[in-house]
Amino acid sequence: MTVEAMTETDYPTSESFSRAFDPEVVRRDFPVLQQQVHGKPLVYLDNAATTQKPQAVIEGIRKFYAEDYGTVRRGVYELSARSTRMYEDAREKVASFLNAPNSQEVIFVRGTTEAINLVAFGYGRAFLKPGDEVIISAIEHHANIVPWQLACEATGATLKVIPCDDRGALIMAEYEKLLSSNTQLVAVNHVSNALGTVNPVKEIIDKAHAVGAVVLIDGAQSAPHMPVDVQALGCDFYTFSGHKIYAPTGIGVLYGKMDLLEKMAPFQSGGEMIETVTFEKTTFAKPPNKYEGGTPAIAQAIGLGYALDYVTGIGLDAIAAYEQELLEYATQRLLHDVPGLTIIGTAPEKAGLISFTLADAHPLDIGTLIDHEGIAIRTGHHCAQPVMKRFNVPATARASFAFYNTKEEVDKLVAGLHKVIEMVS
């Protein structure tokens, strides 16, 4: 839905978002992309960190606050009923988006980090014991490393790591060697935020299940960019963040199989996650309420629902195909037209991001200098310090793409990097 198409009284609907995909058309849906930075048209290439928001999401949230806001699940009055209905509708949209068998298996959290911590606490600390093993990979975000370290320290379990090769692809033969009857849990990302590697998660899940292990997939970098079917994957847990999929900050999703959610310990306690409370004993509500104590992020969840309407209206297959085309174009241009540039992460299967270094230029300087050309990229270790150590670099610059980016913007990135080279020469 374009800005012009949105009326003052209409809510966005899923039908409103259906259209043939054209990046130049969808760009008009994003108000922030229409501005200039330092006198240059904004080129926003930090989508792996967070994505911009379409007008339909912005307007839907504004209208909710202006006309329908009330707390959920706690009131019999009309505003509470409306809010509850919209909040639960958003849960249904998430379930449909992931092809979850039951919307009650969808837990609203603040983001991927909280989702992983919830599982590490509620499942890991409750069921791991000395002699058990947890497997992660060498290309994880800190959010999928530290919670498991803490869970292992608390329970006496051992953390093991799947190594990667020089391209940034996991060495699956080594993964198979790590698996044993001691393996209780495997937690890996679907797509690496630092390298762009698309991991063979279906194979990882199947091999883990063969030894009786539970599997969590960090989908923060996959859900916005490709179709996800949790039933086809067979994963036990799947997580993603709203702000990376054109929704507000402060909202995310944990999908979990019901039998696991029912036996896990709650991460937080308080209102709405209880069934009965006495001074002697408390019993807990069924999932998802069991894990949503306190007043939830109501407007953010509703905004996530609108964002999912938006991307499904375009089509995840179309998004994936276009972003792959953009990735291939950017890879060729950067490698062939920017002297001294090295891409870090060259796995055969990659999603739409490129991490790179540039001879004689520190990544922080690269990001600072091309910002003056209106170009926004990410620099640093990307919350993946073990990845930086593996590739023997202190940091990288990272350009990450969304469906509203264009080949012309890639050309501007190349031109901006040429200016960096001139400045540091």
Per-residue model confidence (pLDDT) at position 5: 39
Quick one: CATH architecture of 25-51+315-415?
Alpha-Beta Complex (3.90)
Which pLDDT band holds residue 271 (cuts at 50, 70, 90)? Answer: confident
Report the percentage of the chain scoring pLDDT > 70: 95
Render pLDDT for 342-397 as a digit per residue (tens, 0 to 9).
999 999 999 999 999 999 899 999 999 999 999 999 999 999 999 999 999 999 99
152, 164, 235, 383: the catalytic one is 383
Domain 25-51+315-415 and domain 66-313 have a common topology:
no
Would you say residue 103 has pLDDT above 80? yes
Per-residue model confidence (pLDDT) at position 262: 97
Active site residue 383: yes
Per-residue model confidence (pLDDT) at position 20: 65
Which pLDDT band holds residue 9 (cuts at 50, 70, 90)? Answer: very low
Would you say residue 201 has pLDDT above 80? yes
The tokens of 154 are what?
């608390």
Query: Which sequence spans correspond to the domains of the chain?
Result: 25-51+315-415, 66-313
Which residues, in sequence order, are CB contacts of 36 under 8 Å at separation 6+? 42, 374
> What's the pTM value of the predicted model, to 2 decimals?
0.94
Whole-number mean pLDDT of the chain? 94
**Length of the chain (residues):** 425
The yes or no reply on domain 66-313 and CATH 1.10.3210.10 is: no
Per-residue model confidence (pLDDT) at position 11: 62
Render pLDDT for 17-71 as a digit per residue (tens, 0 to 9).
555 678 999 999 999 999 999 999 999 999 999 999 999 999 999 999 999 999 9
Least confident range of 10-24, 198-212, 316-330, 392-406: 10-24
Render pLDDT for 72-89 as a digit per residue (tens, 0 to 9).
987 889 999 999 999 999
Q: Average the pLDDT over 90-96 and give the result.
A: 98
